[in-house]
């Protein structure tokens, strides 16, 4: 039996309009104890994800825990991408148990949930497993999450993957939203985000454009 290939994307690839991004507890108090990833890299990756989501018009929820009384404000790199957007503050460690967040999830009404935040083993595992139980497809941006140790982060990722969550990285998220350099309307957006927050890849883009006026398309 032969299989016929067709030039169409796989069904599990993300598109800007098919998911809700939930950015959880990117706050000072949570970051202080995060040891599985360097704080500068974490902030960089969170900024990359936020800018990608904002640029591509992804439905995005920003939520904090005990912002005023304990954990502090959300990273400025994230809030700057969504000026004026209301922050949903919670008392629950599991975002999925917060009525205001769930009301917003239902209002948006998309079948896929993409998660990023602190800490992986508490505030990401909770909503990931809860959403999967309720029939949502869940993706976790692993390098835009962090925990009190590498062991804690890794075991949390294992647990979510075993339950059916799909892991990815921050740069992968950006490039998956673009997917084709012929999409001229978001070309400058994508390369601009990569140049600022894309690490060595961004340096390569800057070099190629500066030295040769190169263009991926």
> Which pLDDT tens digit goes with each residue over 195-214?
999 988 888 888 777 877 76
Percent of the chain beyond pLDDT 90?
Answer: 87
Same domain, 165 and 200: no
Tokens of 195: 């140049």
Q: Is residue 12 part of a domain?
A: no
Helices (H), the chain: 28-32, 39-56, 76-79, 99-108, 125-133, 150-163, 170-178, 187-197, 199-212
Indicate whether 153 and 198 sit together in one domain: no
List the one residue out of 139, 125, 159, 153 whose CA is nearest residue 34: 153
pTM (predicted TM-score)? 0.94
CA 137/CA 92 separation, integer angstroms: 22
Domain that holds residue 211: 183-217
Q: Are strands 112-118 and 166-168 parallel, antiparallel or unpaired?
A: unpaired
Which pLDDT belongs to residue 201?
A: 86
Is there a single domain that holds both residue 196 and residue 154? no
Please state, in angstroms and rounded to a whole number, the distance separating the CA atoms of residues 92 and 64: 10
The CATH number for 46's domain is: 3.40.50.850
* Residue 139, pLDDT above cutoff 70: yes
Give per-residue burial for 118-152: e unless 16+ CB within 10 Å, then b. Answer: bbbbbbbbbbbbbbbeeebbbbbbbbbbbbbeeeb
Q: Is residue 116 part of a domain?
A: yes
Total number of domains constituting the chain: 2
Q: Is residue 88 assigned to a domain?
A: yes
Q: What is the mean pLDDT of residues 78-88?
A: 95
Least Cα distance to 18 among 104, 109, 107, 96 occurs for 109
Contact between residue 61 and residue 105 where contact means Cβ atoms under 8 Å apart: yes
DSSP-derived pairing of the beta strands 112-118 and 19-24: parallel
| pLDDT score for 66 | 73
pLDDT at 216 > cutoff 70: no
Residue 30 in tokens: 């949570």
């Amino acid at each position: 039996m032969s299989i016929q290939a067709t030039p169409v994307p796989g069904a599990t690839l993300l598109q800007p309009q098919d998911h809700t991004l939930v950015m959880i507890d990117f706050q000072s108090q949570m970051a202080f104890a995060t040891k599985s990833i360097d704080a500068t890299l974490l902030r960089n990756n969170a900024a990359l994800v936020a800018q990608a989501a904002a640029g591509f018009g992804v439905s995005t929820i920003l939520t904090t825990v005990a912002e005023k009384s304990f954990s502090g404000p959300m990273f400025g790199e994230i809030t700057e991408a969504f000026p004026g957007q209301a922050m949903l503050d919670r008392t629950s460690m599991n975002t999925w148990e917060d009525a205001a967040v769930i009301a917003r999830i239902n209002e948006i009404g998309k079948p896929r949930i993409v998660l990023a935040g602190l800490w992986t083993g508490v505030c990401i595992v909770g909503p990931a497993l809860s959403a999967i139980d309720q029939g949502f497809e869940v993706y976790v941006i692993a390098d835009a999450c962090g925990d009190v140790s590498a062991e804690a982060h890794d075991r949390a990722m294992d647990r979510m993957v075993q339950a059916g969550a799909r892991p990815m990285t921050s740069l992968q998220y950006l490039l998956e939203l673009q997917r084709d350099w012929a999409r001229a309307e978001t070309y400058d957006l994508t390369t601009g985000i990569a140049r600022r927050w894309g690490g060595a890849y961004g340096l390569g883009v800057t070099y190629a454009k500066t030295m040769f006026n190169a263009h991926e398309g």
